[in-house]
Chains A and B, each alone.
Chain A
Amino acid sequence: AQKITQTQPGMFVQEKEAVTLDCTYDTSDPSYGLFWYKHPSSGEMIFLIYQGSYDQQNATEGRYSLNFQKARKSANLVISASQLGDSAMYFCAMRGPNTDKLIFGTGTRLQVFP
């Protein structure tokens, strides 16, 4: 069975600093996709970044990068130069082969302070 684990219920980071949000996963499928979503308290679930299991390089999207360590089954999200607007819940999710169903972690609440 597939499983996503986010062990950090909450994280604090000072503005302009970098922060890493942890995500580990478990699956027996060789083909899968990993996602990170941002969920502000008052807004929609925002797609941030995607990593395919066969991608050779770590995904990057602006200030977001995914530290993909396949052997350790981890897909940590790194946010560089944190901004106050980054304060939100962050969800790690996984999708198996030939499906659009996502399995989510419990989320990490990130608080950026000045």
Chain B
Amino acid sequence: GAVVSQHPSWVICKSGTSVKIECRSLDFQATTMFWYRQFPKQSLMLMATSNEGSKATYEQGVEKDKFLINHASLTLSTLTVTSAHPEDSSFYICSARDRHIPLHFGNGTRLTVT
């Protein structure tokens, strides 16, 4: 079964509003989680590395003030898209690593900003 739960699966919001996406590791503690974004017909691109108890590390070109990441506990990381605009419409997916080699991914969130 799924070991990483991501919520919501899809969300439609109006331009200018903020949207929060949650990523939970279900049966393991994840000191590090990753947030990816995928635009149509493009690769999954790493946005940021979420570190429990400290600030997230953002990839080049990702606006930290727009994509707020909070990793408040060992099982929960949240991504908030602030003042969303239509160009933020994308597929967002989180991943977390336990002791094993493969990263576990959530189901992803399809965000549509109207």
Contacts and interface: CB of A to CB of B under 8 A. Distances in A.
Interface of A: 4, 9, 33, 35, 37, 43-45, 47, 50, 91, 93, 100-107
B42 A47 contact: no
A101 B47 CA distance: 10
A104 B44 CA distance: 6
Nearest to B46: A101
Nearest to B4: A44
A33 B101 contact: yes
Contacts of A91: 44
A89 to B, nearest CB: 10
A-B interface, 7 closest residue pairs, ranked by CB to CB distance from nearest: A45-B105, A47-B102, A104-B44, A104-B43, A44-B107, A106-B43, A100-B97
A93 B45 CA distance: 11
A80 to B, nearest CB: 21
A7 B49 CA distance: 28
A93 B42 CA distance: 13
Contacts of A103: 43, 46
B87 to A, nearest CB: 20
Given A37-B105, A44-B106, A50-B102, A100 B34 contact: yes
Given A45-B108, A100-B32, A105 B43 contact: yes
Contacts of A9: 41
B89 to A, nearest CB: 18
A6 to B, nearest CB: 9
Given A45-B108, A105-B43, A50 B2 contact: no
Contacts of B36: 104
B93 interface: yes
A35 B105 CA distance: 13
A47 B106 CA distance: 12
B72 interface: no
Contact of B41 (A93, A100, A101, A106): A106
A102 B106 contact: no
Contacts of A50: 101-102
A100 B103 contact: yes
